A and B are shown apart, each in its own frame.
Chain A
């Protein structure tokens, strides 16, 4: 428990850990959905505090990790068009496409810019009317309202040289896809707090019921995670399968209605290919017909061939909870943050990068950083 004194509320952390050890009688496997939670669990050394009987597996909630190779190829293609400024969140730049990453495209002259917010991209479009500005709009439900707002904003101001390449993904269909895989061993989910801040909790009740599985909406700080795990294990030990809210300080059952309305105004639900997992029906957002003038796929007639994924990367098995990062034969050897084979080694929210940075001595594999 070397980190214990550094936590916010160390007494609470201590209390939750002790309680967990006391009540756990059987072996349970829990999956946290959100990459931010994965990062926090590993970085804070929480996995070492849990009873041995509790296994945490790390879900698909890292947008960088699940954006398909083909979509990266689309972004790279767009960046290489003359007159295009491609804007993106920084994390996406190093994700390998089938030929190159956005960073490599940038190195050979493409105008690729890293932004904090899609609204900044609208501003760039306004100031550069002779250029086409495209925002690479990835993310889960948390990010969808901001990306939608950027489109509404551009439309309202008549900024027609702004479009987005949408690659949005949704949590509940992914949970169902994971649970439908017969090999899965997941007993409970920690749902992602900030996703639920937007969407609320209503989508989760049918999932908990259908698969008889506890779902606890959980925050991302150490105390949140431990309390979420404790709430889930309490349910499991009692044979319950409820939807509970650990993160009530940020999540209301109905979510943020304005944000939901914004999403609905701009996006339509569509099928989406998840990197490592494959196509999941009705699991993403695409720009809807009303805003087609701001859909980069339509505007630029993008027609990129479907790209195969790197077979050496087992990220799909990791995000489905079937394997842990260190079980990948390439972990820390052929695949490292400096030269990632797969996306989960790129982003700090990716499970492989989290283990590489905080739960791994490179000597273990005989290699050095």
Chain B
């Protein structure tokens, strides 16, 4: 659960105020709603490192892809699909 997984911002979905900036982030095709509060500089198309639903850093695209492939190969991206998260 300490893992941070890189994904690509596909859309900004909500911007009620500062705290509520949210975006749709793709993790190799798995889409999640991610909070973007901690990365005010991040734009659509950027890659962000995401930990438990919150983006903590903007990362380089090539590095992000390599890291994601590594995590996927190691079977470490399953936490994106926690059983009770799917039908909130």
Contact = CB atoms under 8 A, between A and B. Distances in A.
Binding between chains A and B: yes
Interface of A: 6, 8, 34-36, 40, 43, 61-64, 87, 89-91, 113-120, 123-124, 127, 139-140, 142-143, 145-146, 149, 152-153, 156, 192, 194, 197-198, 220-221, 249-250, 256, 258-259, 262, 347, 349
A122 B30 CA distance: 22
Contacts of B35: 119, 146, 149
A8 B72 CA distance: 12
B2 A146 contact: no
A119 B54 contact: yes
B19 A117 contact: no
Contacts of B59: 249-250
B24 to A, nearest CB: 14
A146 B52 contact: yes
A120 to B, nearest CB: 6
Contacts of B88: 120, 123-124, 127
Nearest to B64: A249
Contacts of B19: 149, 152-153, 156
Interface of B: 1-4, 17, 19-20, 32, 35, 37-40, 49, 51-54, 56-57, 59-60, 63, 66-67, 69-70, 73-74, 79-85, 88
A146 B54 contact: yes
B80 A116 contact: yes
A145 B54 contact: yes
B51 A146 contact: yes
A75 B55 CA distance: 27
Contacts of A142: 2, 4, 51, 56
Contacts of B3: 36, 194, 220
Contacts of A115: 82, 84-85
28 contacts: A8-B66, A34-B2, A87-B84, A90-B79, A113-B84, A114-B83, A114-B84, A116-B52, A116-B80, A118-B53, A119-B53, A119-B54, A120-B85, A139-B2, A143-B1, A143-B2, A146-B53, A146-B54, A149-B19, A149-B38, A153-B20, A194-B2, A194-B3, A197-B4, A221-B67, A221-B70, A349-B1, A349-B2
